[in-house]
Structure 1
Amino acid sequence: MRKIRVALLHLLPRVGDIPYNQQLIEKAVKLAAAKQADWIITPELAVSGLQFSRKIGTNWIEQQPDTWMNHVRMLVKSLKVNVFVGCPERSEDGKLYNSVFVINRNGDLAGRQRKAATLSDGWCESGTVIEPIDLGGIKAGVMICADAYTKTVASTLLAKRADIIVAPSSWGPGLHGPNGEWEQRSIDTGLPVFVCNRTGEDETVAFWEAESMVLKDGKRLLSHKSRQSAIVTFDWDVEKMNVLSSERQLI
């Protein structure tokens, strides 16, 4: 039986407080690595918070990898884990993107995914390239938050032979909250969906009841919500596509 241990970092970032959020991510990554996690996943825009542009603007966003991302790469290499980091980026031509960076256990930037469904974000462009990222023979497809609204991203990842869909998100309940989209994408593709959501509150959006979860064929195999940062760790049977065991730690 082949299995991987996955850690969902269900974090409480502070909107616009970049140093605080970076330190929180590093702390959580170290704690997850101590639990022998193979994959460690942060929420969407874990570095900045979702509504950062209302508070600190966008001039601070750099091309990636920047100084901090290179620091994280060295940390990841020392811990021998794979990490998905939600962070804004500036392209070489100055365009801004809501991105997830995947750093492998060798500290290499194995890939990135730029969010496609950005109409509600306002500050960023839509990503157009959708490619799974190989992590030790398992292809991880990244579907960022509202990219789950339609089947386009998930179906493209399936067509390109992704094995698992990782969904870093900042999506709380409410008027435009999640309403079965992740479940439907797991039905559409037949692929497991690992949703890493967050808690807390930004400028006008509350995430206190937001859930991180693991789904297969429309069914929730695991779910978590909390009012403080937490690490949700689970063992995943790669062959049978099922959760073997799980544990949670508040931080």
Structure 2
Amino acid sequence: MSHQATNWAFQQRGLKPATWRVLVMLADRHNPDNGCFPSQQQLAYDAEMSVSSLNDQLLKLEDLGLIRRERRINPKTRKQMSTRYILGFEDDFAQEPSPNSGVGNPEIPSPKNAESRLRNSETNPVREPVTTTTDFEAQTPDPAERCVKACGPGLSDYARRVIRDTDDVIHGWIEAGVDLEADVLPVLTGRTATARDRVIRTWDYFTQAVRARQTRREAQEARAGKNAENQHVRSSAPDSDPVVCLARWINSGARVPPSAVTNTQRDALLARGLVSEARLRALQIY
């Protein structure tokens, strides 16, 4: 979390509530040392909307010149990694892109993918530029290694050695839209919490449980996104005042990270009577 990123996000005016919420969630996920690398599934969960709705808001933020996206490829496995989001206040945002990406330079078009790697309903898939390996990428643990570390005593020492021969199963999950943090790791931890007689020799042992968790999560995200969109439609024209937008978010009952509200904003909310002290305490903001 970066206070500089959060403060910058709250200074942006004239945004629709859904667009503004996504910008705040990006700022909340920003690390002042490494940058901003959340998955789209994580962002959709944070903003309480579907992945399709999230992509619409990300495109709007790009069109407004508030964010820029860079696609990252693991140099060893050539697998696609989480996208880097460069926010408007960062020094990297104003730098000229590499000739391969073309983003920000109208004379050099960005490369186009045949189709989006995410399963969503857009007729215009999100197209993101290719970039070189960052220092943060080199420090990111391999997904298979993270899976091994997430397992408990139910995965014996012998199984930990032989199961690495089936790491392609994990890459297949990720390519199919399964979220490592939200779907895979919780299943592995839960299914290996206790020691067992049967030796697990392949990651495919967990496939059915991982798929089931993914299905439940996506259904919950779709319902949350539909409810949020319906609420926006019913509401009157949104107020461009960021404090009013913040109050509407807090009073909606949605998840609000404590780091998304600064002390100055909290005092302004209370002084204008837009939220109650009890509500802020319930959210651990006050």
Same fold (TM over 0.5): no
Greater radius of gyration (CA) = 2
**Larger proportion of strand:** 1
TM-score by structure 1 length? Answer: 0.29
